[in-house]
Structure 1
């Protein structure tokens, strides 16, 4: 039986004890702004998990998860977009008790057969796996809050993801992007499409992630270095990014646009991706498929700029024969803490490696 009491600050606390699997009792409490909310929560506690899971839909559960969990994350915007998409799926109307492993397997099969929005190919296994990860987290949240006893995602075989990408941007690719955008690469960008190409070229020169790159502020600039604060990085570790002469040139051109406070302030994650794909396809650098929709040639993605830099930096300098950057220096530049992950970004072709063996 849960109790309700008014706290000194005027809120209402529901408190009591839950019986754990080992027979011990664990105290719980939850605070609400009004007494009516506290009473409603207290009444819900008296209902068994089986009864709750028969009345709560996935859509309602997602709302609660977004409010209590997603809202506290750094990646809350991206995660909420994925969760809202799940809420629009017919799966969301099902009650928690109706979910089984087969329900999730059917969802996987259906998603893999759907066309990707604004693209010519199907939803990728990696996209489906990200959705399954979030869905599993939502059900774990439900179990923790005694809304259900089962996570239907557990034990389901995930779609096999394709091999790691091998695409990098060649000099010819970059020239095609410049031509398709109408930019020469040495004057101030005139529109956001040209700005997206400038951002990609900057990634090719520095190995910076798209999310980090778009956050660059004037205050980060040193003489030949960008001082990236921890909060702006994916790994929450501050680092200094060395700038080549070409990288400094690109920054100087973009700074002429006078966006504040971010140097690439004309772009965000959404329009950066949309504009880059548009100019990429116009340049003839999109993915190629056969009559059975099997991938024949990878298209150029914005994130491949990071791999383009890593491959160039780890390749031998023509004058010295030694890598331009050793492994540890490269990891510091790109912000990788796991060298196995860094290995994925080294994409020298077999032909290039064969030349070194001669």
Structure 2
């Protein structure tokens, strides 16, 4: 029989002792709550389905997130991105609560709060990380009694698929008569040419051209090693990719020229100095993925400002879509669309790394005018 005793003026302690099980005790504010809890525990022990809740009741979500980051996240390829998600989850009020007290209604409220400021895909990624934290705690951290409240809530449907193509040239700026030829050529530059010119990074221009010529992901480019670059065969080998499979990427003439220039510069530098870590010497680009994104975003902003200034000088209205809402990952979209006009879909999957041709349709966005030219 459970034991219920009063502790102080406003507390009741319930104790359950049963042979073969560790003693259980918990304090409540009312005797009715103490009775209900004790009866539930005793019933579970009698039926042989009882599991300890002490670990889940003593571990806060914040502590679980820290442990998850140290034991799970750091071994993932996308550790940097997931660390950012974990940081966001740690900052929530819910992080202060024990795991056992978090219910699906709490997760639903957090989901709705996030959806006010972020796109569904972003919220979906955050919920996926939270769900994995609960699953790991239940399966590997001795919290078998813990349920996963994230599994019970409705997931937002991502509706932010992008169809952004890169403008090849800016036809909206036509300088008045008498403009210098150099300025006129600059006005006709496409988006990527302008971003490259506006970049303050020595590496970003090469990364941009390599991305749009090969359809490689940002992480694949920055982790590229010279030992995997074969300029004679015009092939780059990627031993580790996002989907876990290795693949070989063919290089266009422009991609070969970009890598050849980098190799020549590297060889010249190695003649003059022997300093530097062996790891960085073996990498084509000594830069982090997040640094590439930040550098690209800054270059786009500067390029847009220059473009708007030129339009004002020419007394023309700037194109609202030119150099706006342009992201680095759009280069992969653009590259896939360009390559799709050269290779059949089953061959294109070997270049881009998609296992299913249907997945490639997310990135394949041909221009309607290009399709129209193929019609009789």
Please point out which of 49, 52, 59 is paired with 1:48. 52
What is aligned with 2:193? 178
Question: Distance between the aligned counterparts of 1:162 and 1:343, measured in 2?
Answer: 15
Relative to structure 1, the CA distance from residue 55 to residue 24 in structure 2 (aligned partners, 3 Å threshold; closer, same or farther) is closer
Matched residue, 2:352: 334
Which structure 2 residues correspond to residues 115-264 of structure 1 after superposition, within 5 A?
Answer: 123-144=118-139, 145-147=141-143, 148-172=145-169, 175-182=190-197, 191-192=200-201, 194-222=202-230, 223-231=232-240, 233-258=241-266, 260-264=281-285
| Correspondence 1:344 to 2:359 | no
SS in 2 for 1:182: helix
Residues 331, 337 of structure 1: 8 Å contact kept: yes
**Which whole-Å CA distance do the structure 2 matches of 1:344 and 1:60 have between them?**
38
Q: TM-score, normalised by structure 1?
A: 0.71
Say what the alpha-carbon RMSD is for the aligned residues.
3.1
Contact 2:121 2:160 in 1 (8 A): no
Note the residue ranges of structure 1 that are not aligned, 5 or more in a row. Answer: 3-20, 26-45, 115-122, 184-188, 286-295, 316-323
The number of residue pairs the alignment matches comes to: 285
Distance 1:176 1:47 in 2: 61
Q: Does the CA-based 8 Å contact 1:225-1:240 persist in structure 2?
A: no
1:272 aligns with 2:272: no
| Residue 66 (structure 1) aligns with | 69
Bigger mean CA deviation after superposition, 215-224 or 272-281: 215-224
- CA change 1:48–1:92 in 2 (3 A) is same
Q: Deviations over 1:96-124 (max 9, x none)?
A: 1321111111111212223xxxxxxxx22
CA distance in 2, matches of 1:64, 1:216: 31
In 1, the alpha carbon distance for the partners of 2:195 and 2:82 equals 33
Matched position secondary structure for 1:330:
helix
**Following the alignment from structure 2 to structure 1, what is the Cα–Cα distance between the partners of residues 262 and 166?**
21
In the TM superposition, residue 142 of structure 1 has moved relative to its aligned partner by 2.1
Between Structure 1 and Structure 2, whose CA radius of gyration is higher?
2
Unaligned stretches of 5+ in structure 2?
A: 1-19, 22-44, 171-188, 267-279, 306-319
1:356 Cα offset (Å): 2.4
Q: Which has the higher helix share?
A: 2
Offset of residue 213 of structure 1: 0.9
Q: What per-residue deviation string (whole Å, max 9, x for no partner) do you get for residues 144-177 of structure 1?
A: 2343422111121112211521112232277334
TM-score, scaled to structure 2:
0.68
